[in-house]
Amino acid sequence: MDEHTTTEQKQRILVVDDSEDMRDLLQRLLERAGYRVVLAADGQASLTQAKRHHPDLVLMDLSLPDMDGWEAVRHLRKMREFATTPIIAVTAHVSPREEERAMAAGCTAHIGKPFDTRVLLQEVARLLTSRRSVHGT
């Protein structure tokens, strides 16, 4: 196993989606790519899981029961430890207005559903690489 793969395996991604099928799909995809995955089914659980596991990146659906993704992102951004954590909105809300709304809530990037798995993995890798170079981790 090369050094790059070892580094990637250490990185933890929080996947937040109310669809069990989507959580399973993203978990398989990300684990195959060498990431550790933590799951949450709603906005409130995303906050609990984030505090417990300190993810390096969050994939956030926006239409969630209990607390929606926009609100969950705003809550995460208010916490010092997640102020700069990359958060990708992975959502069916794909209009330019909805993308602007996601970014205004604090998302770092926006990927519409359905998504190309290669594009999603490239964006995850890009944001994690940027985070490592900024934070020196």
pTM, rounded to two decimals:
0.90
Extract the tokens encoding 37.
């995955």
H/E run at residue 17: none
Q: Distance between CA atoms of 99 and 87, rounded to whole angstroms? A: 13
Per-residue confidence of the chain (137 residues) as pLDDT tens digits?
Answer: 344 444 444 799 999 999 999 999 999 999 999 999 999 999 999 999 999 999 999 999 999 998 999 999 999 999 999 999 999 999 999 999 999 999 999 999 999 999 999 999 999 999 999 877 665 55
Q: Distance between CA atoms of 64 and 41, rounded to whole angstroms? A: 8
Q: What is the SS3 assignment for 56?
A: coil
SS3 content of the chain, % helix, strand, coil (to 5): 55, 15, 30
Q: Distance between CA atoms of 107 and 90, rounded to whole angstroms? A: 10
Q: Which domains does the chain have, with CATH numbers?
A: 3-129 (3.40.50.2300)
